[in-house]
Structure 1
Amino acid sequence: MSRYSLMRAVGRVSRPEWILAALMASLAACAPLAPAANQAADQTSRQGSQQAPALGTARPADGPLPVPPNLIALTQPAGQQRLMATTRKQSYWPLSQYFETQRNQAYCSVATSVMALNALGIRRPESTLYPDFPYFSQEDFFRSVDPQVANAAQVSKEGMTLAQLSAALRAFPVEVRTFHASDLTLDQFRDLVRDTTGHSDRFALLNFRRMEIGEAGGGHWSPLAAYDAESDSALLLDVARYKYPAVWVPVTQLYAGALAVDNVSGLSRGMLIVGTRAN
């Protein structure tokens, strides 16, 4: 939606409807198509049984790649209706307020993390980007992280494993719980998604492989913002906005993506639950 169109719409809709429209426009923002992903381990990983659908059979996307037909983009009417109808969407509001696009193709874990840190409302550090305003940013994320755990140069090339991001986030004043999908049943995985998205003081950060949900690409990080029981699907706020928009994904497919083995660690991917520390 252009700025002019949005301004014209203000006179025709109520304040709550305008706020929702602005959020949807923000989530639909796109950057130019980037070059091929640089995580070689994921590019050369064993191909799964589910491949990305042919372009001619997929729904149009907000980004340069088509949304697979098994997924529903949040910007589609059905996606918006699903968000409004579900009661498990408390995570959506704070996360959408601090939505980020990853600053390079390996920074999905960093973009996902700063979204969660800002959305938690904890004390923020001084910011290089905004000197007068404390803020968690991708540029400053590693300032507090032990370089032996992860550092900007390494992560810019390789990304982060589940264990690495878990350790990195422990440098911040948050509580972190780590779950490898191989240690969870589907029902346990679903319970974590459902329970976490029903709160605004904790967030589910998902590490998964794209091919299991029908998308093109390898390993990826993004937060989950809502859960819909009727469709048994969760809302994935994709931080690679230049590639795919926010989409509703069947939980069974998210679980399959989280079960995929990370070639670096040799373990399954999974989920981090990041929340405020108990007083």
Structure 2
Amino acid sequence: MIAGLSVFTAAAIALGSGIVWNRYLREPQQHLEPMPAHLVVLDTPAGRALLAGSDAVADFDELRAHFVPQSRRAYCGVASALTTLNAGGARLDEAALFSHPNVDSHPLKVSFTGMSLRQLGTLMRAHGARVDIVHASDANLDDFRRVVRQNLAREGDFLILNYERELLGQPPMGHISPVAAYHADSDRLLVLDVAAHRYPPTWVPLEGMWNAMRAPLNAGTTRTRGFLAVHDNAPNHSE
């Protein structure tokens, strides 16, 4: 009986470990999702025309050159941090991102729970970035549009968004990704989606993204998602 129970327990642990590995620790498998009609993929004639007509593209080339897709299901914050920090001149990989003495996030915990906006901002500050952490509940649409215009037109400044996919017409999930450009005439943002196994770089209506960032983090709070404004030579603001 005891031996049988041990075998059963070992089998359950092995099975559970396999499920955990496949869901949380394994590199995501390529599976592109259908794109809602109101979103415009960059690598299309319409998407390329939007890029050609954009003037707020100061760091587009650097972001594309240092783009890192997420390597685990909950690593969208990790990938966004690496992409923007390296585009700004750092030379980091995942190990170096977590091993800095001022970083208190653990890669295994992040693998299961992801990172909040505040945790991501704190991690980037540990690596010397000057970061504004802004929850959408503490700002308005005009504030956000102004930040977008200024940030994306200034070399060395970056913008990272935390939003609810469902409000963009995508499968429900909180997500984090950097922005690479703004097209003023159409009022669209170019999101470099770090879940590259599911979504390509995509132009998103700014107001639609604002609404997606205004989604509450959970049913028990009014605190919302939001954005990180990463600055090159600006003072570090408090939350």
Query: In percent, how many aligned pairs have the same letter?
Result: 35
TM-score (norm 2): 0.81
Partner of 1:89: 57
Counterpart-to-counterpart distance in 2, 1:36 and 1:244:
20
| 1:142 correspondence with 2:142 | no
Partner of 2:13: none
Partner of 1:193: 148
Counterpart-to-counterpart distance in 1, 2:220 and 2:93:
26
Larger Rg: 2
Deviation per residue, 1:117-163 (Å, 9 max, x gap): 11111xx4xxxxxxxxxx2112331111656x421111000111111
- Any residues of structure 2 matched to 1:10-89 within 5 Å, and which? 64-89=32-57
Partner of 1:52: none
RMSD (Å) for aligned C-alpha atoms: 2.2
Partner of 2:69: 101
| 1:110 correspondence with 2:110 | no
Q: 1:115 to 1:244 in 2, by over 3 A?
A: same
Deviation per residue, 1:21-56 (Å, 9 max, x gap): xxxxxxxxxxxxxx9976xxxxxxxxxxxxxxxxxx
Please state whether the residue corresponding to 2:142 is helix, strand or coil: helix
How many angstroms does 1:263 deviate by?
A: 2.7
Q: 1:89 to 1:63 in 2, by over 3 A?
A: farther
Runs (4 or more) in structure 1 with deviation over 2 Å come to: 35-38, 263-266, 275-279
Mind listing any 5+ residue stretches in structure 1 that lack a counterpart? 1-34, 39-61, 125-134
**Paired residue type of 1:68:** P
Mind listing any 5+ residue stretches in structure 2 that lack a counterpart? 1-20, 25-29
| 1:273 correspondence with 2:206 | no
Deviation per residue, 1:160-202 (Å, 9 max, x gap): 1111111111111221111111111111111111211112211
Please state whether the residue corresponding to 1:66 is helix, strand or coil: coil
Please state whether the residue corresponding to 1:201 is helix, strand or coil: coil
Counterpart-to-counterpart distance in 1, 2:233 and 2:189:
25
Counterpart-to-counterpart distance in 2, 1:265 and 1:146:
31
Counterpart-to-counterpart distance in 2, 1:95 and 1:153:
26
Please state whether the residue corresponding to 2:52 is helix, strand or coil: helix
Partner of 2:119: 164
Q: Is this contact kept in 2: 1:169–1:176, CA < 8 A?
A: yes
Counterpart-to-counterpart distance in 1, 2:95 and 2:134:
27
| 1:232 correspondence with 2:200 | no
| 1:215 correspondence with 2:170 | yes
Counterpart-to-counterpart distance in 1, 2:51 and 2:188:
11
Counterpart-to-counterpart distance in 2, 1:82 and 1:111:
25
TM-score (norm 1): 0.70
Q: Which has the higher helix share?
A: 2
Please state whether the residue corresponding to 2:94 is helix, strand or coil: coil
Partner of 1:205: 160
Please state whether the residue corresponding to 1:118 is helix, strand or coil: helix
